[in-house]
A and B are shown apart, each in its own frame.
Chain A
Amino acid sequence: MRDQVKETSLIEIKGVSRLFPKGSGEDLVVLEKVDLTIRAGEIVGLLGRSGSGKSTLLRIIAGLVSPSSGEAKCRGEIIAGPPRGVAMVFQSFALFPWLTVLQNVELGLEALGIDSAERRKRALAAIDLIGLDGFESAYPKELSGGMRQRVGFARALVVHPDLLLMDEPFSALDVLTAETLRTDLVDLWTDGRLPIKSVLMVTHNIEEAVLMCDRVLVFSSNPGRVAAEFRIDLPHPRNRLDPAFRQLVDSLYARMTQRPEPKLPSTASAGVGMVLNHVSSNSISGLIETLAGEPYNGHADLPVLAGHLQLEVDEIFPLAEALQLLRFGQLSEGDLTLTEAGRRFAHLDTDERKKLFAQHLMENVPLMGLIRRVLDDRPAHAAPAARFRIELEDYMSEHYADETLHTIVSWGRYAELFAYDEQSETFSLENPH
């Protein structure tokens, strides 16, 4: 049995890293020393926040991106270009709007040079399997999101791949549609009706991972690493209300909130180079108010809070972390607790909230302190954004530098700590009133 499993390993990833070159010389590490083996007969989930490199890993396996170092093999051969027997389902569906459903599904077969009779037969079979009968001659724009993603699945399945890659396939769909598609897919999989051997899916939805996967790899961010691996042995169909299911969801939440803590600036040691995810001051106020009110009274379980606010993991984590960064909240083991300042904030009026926010911003966000110092020192009390962008890019990629600047501008404006002119990209102390 053991040997057989070894033989059928489809994908082998050993020590794979991926760097993106930055302007300032040092490369940005997106993915660091990742190991992963995918065997036949399993659904593997890659779970993590955005920027954790999980999509990059998927694209390395798809042959769309090459690793900077390490070894990526498909059926024992080094991956160079998209390997045969691997098909992909895209988050955005990636359907060709000028081709009908049938033509979209046949596309992959045409590329393989399969003759038209066989092509038509297989395409119709895939369309039938995935529940698209009657839509063969429709164009994608005539379909709903769910139906479009079904086309995406049919197009991938029709080439009979050994491995099906899915890049957040349900995240562009509404809740109900996504659920139907998930259960349909799991049903087909457990019935053995899918012409595939394994599935690798990227997701940031914890419940989705627990619902569908046999194995979940949790990724940590900056740089992307595999932080933990969970086996999920619950039998299909899985019930979200099953205590064992909830238990798994809770432990995954705890695992995902655990990692960022050590690098958070308890001592402001992260300094100016800290990446600030953009979270609006309105959302921060809203979250503090919700937490301070009933039924939470200043303390909430993150999965429960996310469910209540209808937020995805990708949305609730940056919010919770912003609260922690500004010392309005404390994160631990998947729980979020308001601090004393947070409770006070909830009961202040607009002007006083701004003052408290400004105070916490100056104390806890080193970049804010730097901007104020520079503005105070300069005779004109003005400085171009480029001055800070260059400094940020020493620590992070251009993309993150932009996002961090964007965040500091919106927070600083709210706190009335500076003025910012979008046109000329300048910070100043000018007060418009």
Chain B
Amino acid sequence: MMLQDIRTTVLRDAVRPNVWDVVALIIVVGAMVLIVYGGEQTTQPLSALDVAPVSLDPANLPLYALRTTLRMLLAIVCSLVFTFVYAALAAKSRRAEIVLIPLLDILQSVPILGFLTFTVVFFMNLFPGKVLGAELACVFAIFTSQAWNMTFSMYQSMRNVPKDLEEATRSFHLSGWQRFWRLDVPYAMPGLIWNAMMSMSGGWFFVVASEAITVGNTTVTLPGIGSYVALAIQQQDLAAIGAALLTMLLVITAYDQLLFRPIVAWADKFRFEQTASGNPPSSWMLDLFRRTRALRKLSVPFAALNRTFSNLRLNWPRAWSGPVRHAPPSQLVDGLWLAVVIVGCAYAGWKTYLYLSATLAPADILAAIGYGLITLVRVAVLIALASLIWVPVGVWIGLRPKLAERIQPLAQFLAAFPANLAFPVFVVLIVRYGLDANVWLSPLMILGTQWYILFNVIAGASAFPTDLREAAASLQLTGWRWWFKVVLPGVFPYYITGAITASGGSWNAAIVAEVASWGDTHLTASGLGAYIAGATERGDFPRVVLGIAVMCLLVTLFNRLLWRPLYAFGERRLRLG
């Protein structure tokens, strides 16, 4: 081939669309059409919901799935924006940090579904008579389930930016704004994406739970998979529930393949490692887009825009300009700030006291705490049981790489699947066999969250060093000695990570798991979850507040007194490598 020929081919190839462009274009345009359609639906008046109520016709399911997915996407965008602002504020300003970080810690342990009561009322009043208000309440519920751990991850990354890179940005005169986009955000990216993925997994549970809500006299049913299932429960239609489960399966698979895997594969370059890793994540979707020609050209203006945006010559206010300060911070301003915080807290506490004491007696508080302890026992027993089952299974799978490769995505998938969709199946069984609700409703709490234990243990066992296994084999360690001296300490840090997530999720699930119904049959297990759910249904706000406060307290104590020390112990003593 002549040099001239090569040139023209290259030139032509550079802009001519190829077959991958067509595939990618269909996906992009399809997504845009669906988003616009979904958006139009939300501006309708609330009465439209009564005109076209949710129906059990399976033909409607794709549309319902779309509405549900759109709520999820909107919530994750909100969570991202919130994360950037909140984490940046907390990481850059010491005074903001004093307030923001403990606040975040508490928010993390607030039961999201308990929240719904207030947010629905708030958003409905904000957009009276519009579907938008109810939609926003639902999105807000998902947002509250997603934002906190993402924000924590971002904040921690921003605090741990490597010192040499930080010095390099200063030495090369990058402005605060440039530094944020060039150093802080990329450095935080892997952790942020992992947490966003966990958040999305958890989010499906809440989107399904918050689509059909009753607060006092108001019942709002937003078209979606969650309300579809709620209706199926009312009409005792097991087939419809099966159809909903199947749809959800497809939706989560699509979301995983089309959205998250590409992002994870793309974000691999942000991992802060100086050596190339053996097995980078891959995604056919990302490969498809990378193979397209015309669409890649289309992305050029976006890249340029991104560059211009991150190069804007903005700067943080001087007081925020990073951890190195030339003058020691002013004690006077610190004192004033602390005083403002204390007065604010005292005022809020007083207001809460007044509000609650108007309707509640000390006996109510004791009752709530009593219910809380019952739920606490449930969570503890369930985590113990799930650990007894899944730790050995996880170790067994994790030590077999071929098997682990296939099971691991399945376990992650199960963790993302909203378990509340499957609740009716169990309730039917309990009703049919007349089982004790107090005992048999409990497993529902851990139905969706036990998988976190499984896939973390699998990850831990997969990462267990081969040389240690060989050493154990050559020392003839077998039986319980092998478990307790070799493998369990090795997977302990991973197990704890999984158990923390599972336990947090179970507390949240209590609100929907301790009360269940099938048609006209209502089952209730006594516990804090049922207490909050009952108060919500009656529109009894003081008791909702009390229930949430008690749950917050118990979750926080549970975390501080049990999980954190265990986690610290695992990180200090048992982390391999």
Inter-chain contacts of B165 with A (CB < 8 A): 94, 96
Q: Does B314 make an interface contact (CB < 8 A)?
A: no
CB pair A107–B171 under 8 Å, yes or no, is no
CB pair A112–B326 under 8 Å, yes or no, is no
Q: Does B50 make an interface contact (CB < 8 A)?
A: no
CB pair A141–B186 under 8 Å, yes or no, is no
Mask: chain B, 263-279; 1 = CB below 8 Å from A; 0 = not: 00000011111111000
Inter-chain contacts of A81 with B (CB < 8 A): 170
Q: Does B467 make an interface contact (CB < 8 A)?
A: no
CB pair A96–B167 under 8 Å, yes or no, is no
A97-B272, A110-B311, A141-B273 given; A87·B183 CB < 8 A: no
CB pair B186–A98 under 8 Å, yes or no, is yes
A90 to B168, alpha carbons, bound, how many Å?
Answer: 8
CB pair B167–A90 under 8 Å, yes or no, is yes
A140 to B272, alpha carbons, bound, how many Å?
Answer: 11
Q: Does B432 make an interface contact (CB < 8 A)?
A: no
Q: Which of B311-331 contact A (CB under 8 A)?
A: 311, 313, 324, 326
Q: Does B173 make an interface contact (CB < 8 A)?
A: yes
Q: Does B89 make an interface contact (CB < 8 A)?
A: no
Q: Does B69 make an interface contact (CB < 8 A)?
A: no
CB pair A88–B167 under 8 Å, yes or no, is yes
Mask: chain B, 318-353; 1 = CB below 8 Å from A; 0 = not: 000000101000000000000000000000000000
A87 to B171, alpha carbons, bound, how many Å?
Answer: 7
A90-B164, A107-B182, A113-B313 given; A97·B171 CB < 8 A: no
A66 to B170, alpha carbons, bound, how many Å?
Answer: 14
Pick from B172, B175, B276, B326: contact of A141, CB below 8 A. Answer: B276
Residue of B nearest to A116 (CB): B307
Residue of B nearest to A108 (CB): B172
Inter-chain contacts of A141 with B (CB < 8 A): 273-276
Mask: chain A, 85-97; 1 = CB below 8 Å from B; 0 = not: 0111011111011
- Counting chain B CB atoms within 10 Å of each CB, the highest count among A91, A111, A112 belongs to A111
CB pair A111–B274 under 8 Å, yes or no, is no
Q: Which of B182-232 contact A (CB under 8 A)?
A: 182-183, 186, 189
- Chain A interface residue bracket vs B: 20 to 34
A94-B167, A96-B183 given; A111·B276 CB < 8 A: no
Residue of A nearest to B325 (CB): A66
CB pair B270–A64 under 8 Å, yes or no, is no
Pick from A93, A96, A98, A108: contact of B173, CB below 8 A. Answer: A108
CB pair B270–A97 under 8 Å, yes or no, is yes
CB pair B324–A139 under 8 Å, yes or no, is no
A96 to B178, alpha carbons, bound, how many Å?
Answer: 13
Q: Does B553 make an interface contact (CB < 8 A)?
A: no
CB pair B172–A87 under 8 Å, yes or no, is yes
Mask: chain A, 52-64; 1 = CB below 8 Å from B; 0 = not: 0000000100111
Residue of A nearest to B272 (CB): A97
CB pair A112–B164 under 8 Å, yes or no, is no
CB pair B164–A107 under 8 Å, yes or no, is no
CB pair A111–B168 under 8 Å, yes or no, is no
CB pair B172–A96 under 8 Å, yes or no, is no
Q: Does B174 make an interface contact (CB < 8 A)?
A: yes
Residue of A nearest to B274 (CB): A141
Pick from B171, B178, B189, B311: contact of A62, CB below 8 A. Answer: B171
Inter-chain contacts of B182 with A (CB < 8 A): 96, 107
Pick from A59, A64, A84, A97: contact of B273, CB below 8 A. Answer: A97
A140 to B173, alpha carbons, bound, how many Å?
Answer: 21
Residue of B nearest to A92 (CB): B164
A112 to B171, alpha carbons, bound, how many Å?
Answer: 12
Q: Does A256 make an interface contact (CB < 8 A)?
A: no
A65-B324, A97-B271, A98-B269 given; A111·B172 CB < 8 A: yes
Q: Does A192 make an interface contact (CB < 8 A)?
A: no
Residue of B nearest to A159 (CB): B172
Inter-chain contacts of B175 with A (CB < 8 A): 111
A323 to B573, alpha carbons, bound, how many Å?
Answer: 33
A82-B173, A97-B274, A111-B174 given; A88·B269 CB < 8 A: no
Inter-chain contacts of A63 with B (CB < 8 A): 170-171
B573 to chain A, nearest CB (A): 8
B182 to chain A, nearest CB (A): 7
Mask: chain B, 247-291; 1 = CB below 8 Å from A; 0 = not: 000000000000000000000011111111000000000000000
Inter-chain contacts of B173 with A (CB < 8 A): 82, 84, 108, 111-112
CB pair A66–B326 under 8 Å, yes or no, is yes
Residue of B nearest to A97 (CB): B272
A102 to chain B, nearest CB (A): 13
Q: Which of A110-141 contact B (CB under 8 A)?
A: 110-113, 139-141
A92-B164, A107-B182 given; A64·B324 CB < 8 A: yes
Q: Does A142 make an interface contact (CB < 8 A)?
A: yes
Inter-chain contacts of A84 with B (CB < 8 A): 173
A89 to chain B, nearest CB (A): 10
B158 to chain A, nearest CB (A): 15
CB pair A110–B167 under 8 Å, yes or no, is no
CB pair A88–B168 under 8 Å, yes or no, is yes
A115 to chain B, nearest CB (A): 11
A207 to chain B, nearest CB (A): 25
Inter-chain contacts of B164 with A (CB < 8 A): 90-94
Mask: chain A, 173-209; 1 = CB below 8 Å from B; 0 = not: 0000000000000000000000000000000000000
Inter-chain contacts of A90 with B (CB < 8 A): 164, 167-168
A148 to B276, alpha carbons, bound, how many Å?
Answer: 13
A86 to B172, alpha carbons, bound, how many Å?
Answer: 9
A82 to B169, alpha carbons, bound, how many Å?
Answer: 10
A214 to chain B, nearest CB (A): 24
Residue of B nearest to A80 (CB): B326
B184 to chain A, nearest CB (A): 12
A155 to B189, alpha carbons, bound, how many Å?
Answer: 24
Inter-chain contacts of B167 with A (CB < 8 A): 59, 62, 64, 88, 90, 94
A86 to B273, alpha carbons, bound, how many Å?
Answer: 28
CB pair A82–B186 under 8 Å, yes or no, is no
B169 to chain A, nearest CB (A): 8
A269 to chain B, nearest CB (A): 35
A17 to B168, alpha carbons, bound, how many Å?
Answer: 24
A312 to B413, alpha carbons, bound, how many Å?
Answer: 53
A74 to B165, alpha carbons, bound, how many Å?
Answer: 23
B274 to chain A, nearest CB (A): 6
A94 to B161, alpha carbons, bound, how many Å?
Answer: 11
Inter-chain contacts of A112 with B (CB < 8 A): 173
CB pair A64–B171 under 8 Å, yes or no, is yes
A87-B172, A94-B165 given; A139·B269 CB < 8 A: yes
Q: Please give me the 5 A-B residue pairs with the lowest Cβ-Cβ distance, nearest first.
A: A94-B164, A108-B172, A94-B168, A98-B186, A111-B174
Residues of A within 8 A of B (CB): 59, 62-66, 80-82, 84, 86-88, 90-94, 96-98, 107-108, 110-113, 139-142, 148, 155, 159
Residues of B within 8 A of A (CB): 162, 164-165, 167-168, 170-175, 178, 182-183, 186, 189, 269-276, 311, 313, 324, 326
Further contacts, 4 of them, CB under 8 A, given A88-B171, A148-B274: A66-B326, A94-B162, A107-B172, A112-B173
5 A-B pairs in the complex with CB atoms less than 8 angstroms apart: A88-B167, A94-B162, A96-B183, A139-B269, A141-B274
